[in-house]
Amino acid sequence: MIIRIFKIALSMMIVLAIAAACSQSEDNLAETSEEQSDEGSPDSGKSNGLSETPSQGGNNEENDSARIAQNTEESMMVYEAQLDVETNDYDQFNQQLQTKMDQQEAYMVESNIHKNEQGRRQGHIRIRVPQPNFESLLAGFEEISSEVLSRNISGRDVTEEYVDLESRLQAKEKIESRLLNFMDQAEATEDLIKISQDLERVQSEIEVLTGKMNYLENQSDFSTITLSIQETAAGANLNASPTSIWEETKLAFSNSIHNVGQFFSWLVVFLLGYSPFLVLFAGLILLFWFIRRRRKKSTS
């Protein structure tokens, strides 16, 4: 009887132990699942920074786009144009050209005018115009000219060259600042002389870089237009006067006077230049004439 009771009690203890172990394992599994669910939640992602990566990437793309757009807007372009035009009246074209230039705030840097053999005037003009008014002034040339024979426009991007000069200038300015500090701290005469020489060289390089940057800025701010103007036959006839025969007569007379002057000039040059040979030749002729005359006297 006692043995049977002991077996029953032992069996119950084993059953209770197994049940407790099963409940503990279930609790552990529940805790593990809760931790895994917490780690996979969006809130946990914010704590370890993983969720911030896509937003940062989007900001970088936006910044890059803004930077590219800014660089495009700040690009430095140098524009040049060459035009060949015809006009019936050069004086009228010149007046209208001055009006167009005043409207577009342009100015003339070179002007050459001459007449050809037919008496028609030809002009060569170089103009500088602010870049925003470049196209407007080009369009104005077509309005005041009889015909545009040729039109050539070229552009050159100098942004990279300007940025390179700017970075080199900043580096030279830093060196200049350091040399100035060294000069303030130097005490020995030799050190002062050496620093002064280096400072002079650096400042000279800074002036050269600044000059190149100013040149590029000016070329970018103002475009250059080279204009070749030809007066047509109609324009030449308008300038012709009824006294053209008298003009031709005066021209022929002046040409004849010029030719006579050239002949005498050539004669003087010939006589003076070949005088030794002429004197020798004249002496031989006189000697021959003297001998011949003496023979005639002796025979008579």
What tokens were used for 117? 């053999």
For the segment 217-225, the average pLDDT, to the nearest whole number, is 92
* Residue pLDDT, tens place only, 168-205: 999 999 999 999 998 888 888 888 889 899 999 999 99
Q: How many CB atoms lie within 10 A of CB 112?
A: 10
What are the start-end ranges of the H helices in 126-158? Answer: 134-144
Q: Looking at the whole model, is its pTM more than 0.85? A: no
Pick the closest to residue 170 from 127, 130, 138, 202 (CA basis). 202
Pick the closest to residue 262 from 274, 270, 273 (CA basis). 270
- Cα-based angle 15, 20, 26 (whole degrees, multiple of 5): 130
Please return the burial class of 184, using the count of CB atoms within 10 Å of its CB with bins 0-12, 13-18 and 19+: exposed
pLDDT over threshold 50, residue 88: yes
Residue 103 contacts by C-beta under 8 Å, 6 or more apart in sequence?
140
What pLDDT does residue 51 have? Answer: 33
CA separation (Å) from 238 to 90, 145, 169, 203?
Answer: 11, 16, 59, 61
Q: Which amino acid is at 230?
A: Q
What tokens were used for 252? 């022929």
